[in-house]
Amino acid sequence: MSENIYRPYLMRIAHIVDEAPGIKTFRLTFQDEEAGARFRFKAGQFGLYSVFGQGESTFCIASSPTRSGYLECTFRTMGRVTTALADCDVGDIIGFRGPYGNTFPIETWEGKSILFIAGGIALPPLRCVIWNVLDLRERFKDVSIIYGARSVADLVYKHELEEWHARGDVRVITTVDPGGETPDWSGEIGFVPTVVEQIAPSSADTVALVCGPPIMIKFTLPVLEKLRFAKNMTYTTLENRMKCGIGKCGRCNVGKVFVCKDGPVFTLEELEELPEEY
Amino acid sequence: MTGLQDAARDLLQSGEAAVVIGFGGGSAGGARPLMVRDPTSVGDLIFDDRCVHNLAVYLLKPEVKSLGKPAIVGTQAVLRSILQLASEQQVKDRDVIALIPEADGGVRRLETLGEIEGAVSKPDAVLSPEEQNCLDEIASLSREERWRFWQEEFSRCLKCYACRAACPMCYCSQCIVEVNQPQWIPVPAHPLGNMGWHLVRAMHLAGRCVNCGECARACPVDIPLNLLNQVIEKEVAEQFGGKAGLSATASYALSTFTTDDKDTFIR
Amino acid sequence: MIEQKRMSTTSLEALFQRYKTAGWWILAPRAEGDITTFGEVDSPGDVAAGLIQTTLSPKSAVLPIWEELFRFRRGESGIEVVEAAESSVPTIIFGLRPCDARAFAALDAVFTWDSQDEPYLARRNKVAFVSIACNQADDYCFCTSTGGGPGDTAGSDLLLTGVGDEYLVEVVTERGVELAGIAGELFGPAEGMDKAAHLASVPVRFDLDRLRQVLPKTFDREELWIDQSLRCLGCGACAYVCPTCVCFDIQDEATRHGGARVRCWDSCGFSLFTLHTSGHNPREVQSHRWRQRVMHKFAYMPERLQVLGCVGCGRCSRACPVDMNLAEHLAVIAESGE
Ligand SMILES: Cc1cc2nc3c(=O)[nH]c(=O)nc-3n(C[C@H](O)[C@H](O)[C@H](O)COP(=O)(O)OP(=O)(O)OC[C@H]3O[C@@H](n4cnc5c(N)ncnc54)[C@H](O)[C@@H]3O)c2cc1C
Ligand code: SF4
Ligand code: SF4
Ligand code: SF4
Ligand code: SF4
Ligand code: FES
């Protein structure tokens, strides 16, 4: 008999980072080490994280597949499950099932430049790809990251932003919304779409990845179009409410496309084919 | 019927109403709710004894509200619902025009809540003989037997919430069964989940139910929910006086108190 | 080639006893007050007679209204996940209609595309279908518009058609051969039995090919969907009585020392179904939810899973508190042009 697909792995919370108000990152290790050693995933995939007795919640896997032995997720406290997760401590056991969904086709990007654009709490899905690309840095040309949040306090992965900045082989631009800056803020001030327009990154042989709140995506995509980024080389991810994550519970679909199976990663070209149901 | 159709056409043509909520012919020789927005379609409106739905439920549906001012074909249940909704500040004076089909084929048009108050009859109960029998039977049961009776009835519940969706008084934008912090009512349709849902439902309608019977009619598994409400209504009427749906300005029995209330706990 | 046999209606009693002795549970239509549901029966006498269609479908035999996916316990050594002990017994669903028998193909498709849904399959693999062809239909039936029919054999293991005081027995599948074999002596040769003469006539309500052509192009026709759905109340009645609706919710139920992860029926008609925690709702109004219901069954499932999500049993339309008649709406769409 095959496995019960709803049975989660038991994961130990190995490390917790308070990223920003209401946002935490968990590092999770497999309680069953053998299962952990067998576990494989690719950049872009997500999973269902659960607090036993409270329920399941969907987050992307925020760590890179090039780093094995653990998983990381970054989540914002929203409702029942995320509140329960936020109350967890190092050492607690939570559930994880996955990986689910499609992936960013990183293999096909070798030799190209890569531009990451993220807003707010949407850096986690890209962080996975960023580390994946940086761990294989020599295979790609220029790598740039444009990341914005409402205020300095709301920026997630602050240490990593510094680390990426310090490497010298990545161009990192951080920005906060007007009024969100602190006196010693040295980054940009302005909304992500505006900053992208000002910086006008080159689209030559460049893959663009855009993740963020719907409003940010809505205004950033036209800018990229103006800068002549190819629609089939511009990627984003969709979030629809999910329960099963495996194409059965019937709630995540956008038209005939199931975000949990056919997504969450879509090219701009694919996105334009979808009906407005996300 | 033509009186109703003429009145509907006038309202739509003059722009006094953007939609007429009425009845049309339905499947298998029945009637169904019908929204008429186009004056040329008023010929689809019917009114006869097949027309039983409590149309007032549509007055608060966002999709219908967004159309503009409604006129509604007013059965007694609809009028009582409008008054009850008005007393709960959900419907304001002149928000809705009621069209009352008369026996002679004519139509009475009620524009204000005051006119509607004047048009509701004040029946003790509006139960069919079968329902009355069932009610008498329930009344004759012991407390334990009654509990078992309802437990048995609720065990069939699917939690499809058709009863809630069809009830004009169930308009909360977030029903307590949808609150999950904390999860007051278990989601699954198991005995505990069903009992939780039905206790909450009955209590939240106590003193507000206008006894239209729509919940029971809507229920796909024939749970006589309106009878439960009816028992509670009687109780509320005896303990606190008053009846839902007779006045646009009545205060709610369970949220007001007077010095002659029977219970002393609040004094 | 489907083998045909005959059996006297009076042999049903013996057939039931034989199946029970062989370890099968029998579920069949049973009257519960004014409604009918599939429940365990002992003998043919328990089976509700003269039915056109049951109020609730036999779906719950494989997808219960709620079920535990697994339990968990909090112990000294942390959390322990405990699989539900295998509890389902071999079950014959008796007396279901041909439309219902076909419905299981739609459920199977959802639960086996890509990944195998073990909790579902554990039950599904133990169910056999002994259907009874329809000799009467009502205004709501539209099996013939969805590729089925009152004497359709697809999905059944055995199909019985009442012919006078006998049944024409069609042995449709391998499992059917087994089921017929258990009680071989009750069956005789079927020469001279005219099945067609004993079937209900169910008029075709819409042209399925035409519908399938038109429907995918109607997504943005807001006015069409509003027109159809203005009276829809957004409840779960249509989905919960439907033999092919699978949409479900996953919830945790906690006790002090453990609990269970539970799957329960859900419906795309509820506004909550797609509501994000942030408050954003991709299907904000009822017309979009109604569109999803129609599209899912008649556009998305055929395209993604090669199976129609509706068998035309008519239950949704019988159960709908405001008489949303699916066949009627589909006919309007099919005839609405592109
Ligand atoms: C592909 C994908 C990736 C995502 N990645 C991230 C990420 O990396 N980080 C992040 O912070 N967020 C992410 N999200 C969003 C995240 O899933 C939601 O914010 C989160 O699920 C909210 O869960 P909650 O338990 O706190 O909310 P709640 O609203 O309390 O929901 C709890 C659970 O119950 C359900 N539910 C809620 N109310 C009810 C009710 N009344 N009845 C029945 N069920 C109910 C919900 O669907 C949920 O499964 C992602 C979403 C998707 C789809
Ligand atoms: S009878 Fe039922 S539907 Fe009518 S007001 Fe009372 S509770 Fe609501
Ligand atoms: S309509 Fe009937 S089955 Fe549905 S939730 Fe109400 S009582 Fe339960
Ligand atoms: S959609 Fe309606 S007619 Fe079709 S299978 Fe479901 S209940 Fe039957
Ligand atoms: S179609 Fe009918 S049964 Fe289905 S959600 Fe709408 S009102 Fe409820
Ligand atoms: S999350 Fe269940 S189908 Fe996509």
pLDDT digits (tens, 9 = 90+) for B43-75: 999 999 999 999 999 999 999 999 999 999 999
One domain for residues B247 and B151? yes
The reported pTM is 0.94
Residue A1 confidence (pLDDT) = 44
Name, in order, each residue with C-beta under 8 angstroms of B247's C-beta and a sequence gap of 6 or more. B83, B87, B117
One domain for residues B109 and B136? no
One domain for residues B255 and B179? yes
Q: Quote the percentage of chain C above a pLDDT of 70.
A: 99
Residue C124 confidence (pLDDT) = 95
Name, in order, each residue with C-beta under 8 angstroms of A42's C-beta and a sequence gap of 6 or more. A65, A99, A103, A104, A106
Facing residue for A249 by CB, picked from C79, C247, C303: C247
Q: C338 falls in which pLDDT band (50, 70, 90)?
A: low
- Chain C residue closest in CA terms to B56: C231
pLDDT at B128 over 80: no
Residue A89 confidence (pLDDT) = 96
Tell me the C-alpha distance between B166 and B56, whole Å.
Answer: 9
Task: Give me the torsion for CA of A78, A82, A87, A90, rounded to 10°.
Answer: -140
Residue C192 confidence (pLDDT) = 87
Q: B263 falls in which pLDDT band (50, 70, 90)?
A: low
* Average pLDDT for chain B: 89
pLDDT at C116 over 50: yes
Ligand nearest to the CA of C312: 4
Per-domain boundaries in chain A:
9-100, 106-237
Interface pTM (ipTM) of the complex? 0.94
Q: In angstroms, what is the span from residue C1 Cα to ligand 6's centroid?
A: 39
One domain for residues B57 and B152? no
Ligand 4 atom closest to residue C140's alpha carbon, by position in its atom list: 3
Size of interface B-C (CB pairs under 8 A): 109
pLDDT at B266 over 60: no
Q: How far is CA A201 from CA A178, A191, A221, C233, in A?
A: 22, 16, 13, 50
Q: Which residues of chain A have pLDDT under 50?
A: 1
Instruction: Choose, out of A82, A253, A259, A276, the residue to mutate when testing the contact with C (most C CBs < 10 Å).
Output: A253
Whether B223 is in the pocket of ligand 3, judged by its Cβ within 6 Å, is yes
Residue B261 confidence (pLDDT) = 55
Q: How far is CA A112 from CA A109, A191, C306, in A?
A: 6, 27, 39
One domain for residues B207 and B86? no
Residues of B in contact with C239 (CB under 8 A): 160
One domain for residues B82 and B160? no
Whether C145 is in the pocket of ligand 4, judged by its Cβ within 6 Å, is no
Tell me the C-alpha distance between B62 and C230, whole Å.
Answer: 10
**CB distance from C264 to chain A under 8 Å?**
no
- Whats the size of chain B, residue-wise? 267
- Chain B residue closest in CA terms to A55: B180
Domain presence at residue B124: no
Last residue within a domain, chosen from B85, B119, B153: B119
Domain presence at residue B174: yes
One domain for residues B134 and B240? yes
One domain for residues B152 and B96? no
One domain for residues B109 and B197? no
Facing residue for C69 by CB, picked from A6, A79, A278: A6
As given in the structure block, the two tokens for residue C262 are 């539970």
Last residue within a domain, chosen from B119, B151, B169: B119
Domain at A106-237: CATH architecture: 3-Layer(aba) Sandwich (3.40)
Q: Closest Cα to atom 2, ligand 5: which residue?
A: C320
Name the amino acid, one letter, at A89.
D
Residues of B in contact with C319 (CB under 8 A): 162, 220
Residues of C in contact with A240 (CB under 8 A): 274, 276, 282
pLDDT at B146 over 50: yes
Does residue C337 come out as left (phi exceeding 0), alpha (psi in the -120 to 50 range) or beta?
left
One domain for residues B137 and B252? yes
Last residue within a domain, chosen from B95, B119, B143: B119
Domain presence at residue B138: yes
* Average pLDDT for chain C: 95
Instruction: Write phi, then psi, for B109 (nearest 5 degrees).
Output: -110, 120
- Chain A residue closest in CA terms to C281: A278
- Per the structure, how many domains does chain B have? 2
Boundaries of domain holding B95:
2-119
Nearest residue to B11 via CA among B53, B64, B68, B56 = B68
Contact residues, A window 73-102, toward B, CB-based 8 Å cutoff: 79-80, 83
H helices present in B70-112, as ranges? 76-87
**Do A174 and A155 meet the contact criterion of CB atoms below 8 Å apart?**
yes
Range of lowest pLDDT (A162-166, B246-250, C171-175): B246-250
H or E element: which one contains B215?
helix B214-218
State the fold for domain A9-100: Elongation Factor Tu (Ef-tu); domain 3 (2.40.30)
Q: How far is CA C188 from CA A115, C1, C10, C41, in A?
A: 76, 18, 14, 26
